[in-house]
A and B are shown apart, each in its own frame.
Chain A
Amino acid sequence: MKDKVRLVEVLFFGGLLFVILFSILPLFNVSLPESIPNILYLLVEFLAFIVALIFFFKIDRKQKLWLGWFFVLLGFFIYLLSDFLGIFFKLENAQMLKLVSFILNFVALLLFIIFISNSLRVRLSFNENFLLVINAILLFVLILQVGILPTLLNRSMLLEDKIINILFLLGDYMLLVVFMILFLTITTHFWGGEIAKNYYLLTLSIALLSISNLIFSYILGSYELFKIDRIIYLGGYMIIAYSIVKEGALQEV
Chain B
Amino acid sequence: MKFPKGKPIYEDTPSALINVKELVAWIHMEKFNGVLEGKVGDITTQILITDGDPRKAFTFTDDTILVQDDEAIETFVTDAMMRVSSISLYVLEDEIIKSLLIRLFINPVLSGDAKIFDSMGMIEKLMERGQIGHIFLDFNTEKLHFLFYDGRYLGYYSEKDGKMRQDEDKINLINYLNSKLGFLMLHIVSLKDLEDLKLPSLRFGEIERNTEFIAEILTSFLNYMVKTYTGVGIYSEKIRKIIEKIYNEHSGIVKDIITMNNGEFLLNGNPNMSWYELVSDFAILIKNINLEISKLWGKKMSDQKYIDVYKDFYERIKSSPEMSQVFSYLNPENLERVGG
Task: Choose among A60, A64, A189 the residue that contacts B238 (Cβ–Cβ < 8 A).
Answer: A60
Q: How many residues of B contact A (CB 8 A)?
A: 20
Residues of A near B236 (CB, < 8 A) are: 60, 62-63
Where chain A touches its partner, the secondary structure class is helix
The residue of chain B having its C-beta at the shortest distance from the C-beta of A193 within the complex is B298
- B158 → chain A, closest Cβ, in Å? 60
**Closest residue of chain B to A194, judged by CB?**
B296
Of the four ranges (under 10, 10 to 19, 20 to 34, 35 or more), the interface on chain A belongs to 20 to 34
Tell me the nearest residue of chain B to A64, going by C-beta. B233
Specify which chain B residues have a CB less than 8 angstroms from the CB of A191 in the assembled complex.
298-300
- B301–A193 contact, CB under 8 A? yes
Binds B, one of A24-32, A41-49, A112-120: A112-120
| Distance between Cα atoms of A190 and B295 in the complex (Å) | 10
Tell me if A195 is interfacial: C-beta within 8 Å of chain B: yes
In contact, B297 and A193 (Cβ under 8 angstroms): yes
B235 interface neighbour in A63, A118, A192, A196, Cβ under 8 Å: A63
| A65 at the binding interface (Cβ < 8 Å) | yes
Structural contact, B301 and A63, CB atoms closer than 8 A = no
* Contact, CB under 8 Å: A63 / B237: yes
* Chain A-chain B contacts (Cβ-Cβ < 8 Å), number: 65
A158 interface residue per 8 A CB criterion? no
CB proximity to B under 8 Å, residues A49-73:
60, 62-65
Contact B296 A195 (CB under 8 A): yes
Q: Shortest CB–CB separation between residue A123 and chain B, in angstroms?
A: 14
| A214 CB within 8 Å of chain B | no
Q: Which residues on A sit within 8 Å (CB–CB) of B241?
A: 253
Chain A interface (Cβ < 8 Å from any Cβ of B): 60, 62-65, 115-116, 118-120, 189-196, 250-251, 253
Instruction: Show the binding face of B for A, using Cβ within 8 Å.
Output: 232-238, 241-242, 244-245, 294-302
16 CB < 8 A contacts A-B? A63-B235, A63-B236, A65-B234, A118-B233, A189-B300, A190-B297, A190-B300, A190-B301, A192-B294, A192-B298, A192-B300, A193-B295, A193-B299, A195-B298, A250-B235, A251-B237
Known: A63-B235, A115-B233. 14 other contacts (CB 8 A): A60-B237, A60-B238, A64-B234, A119-B232, A191-B300, A192-B294, A192-B299, A192-B300, A193-B297, A195-B235, A195-B297, A196-B298, A250-B238, A253-B245
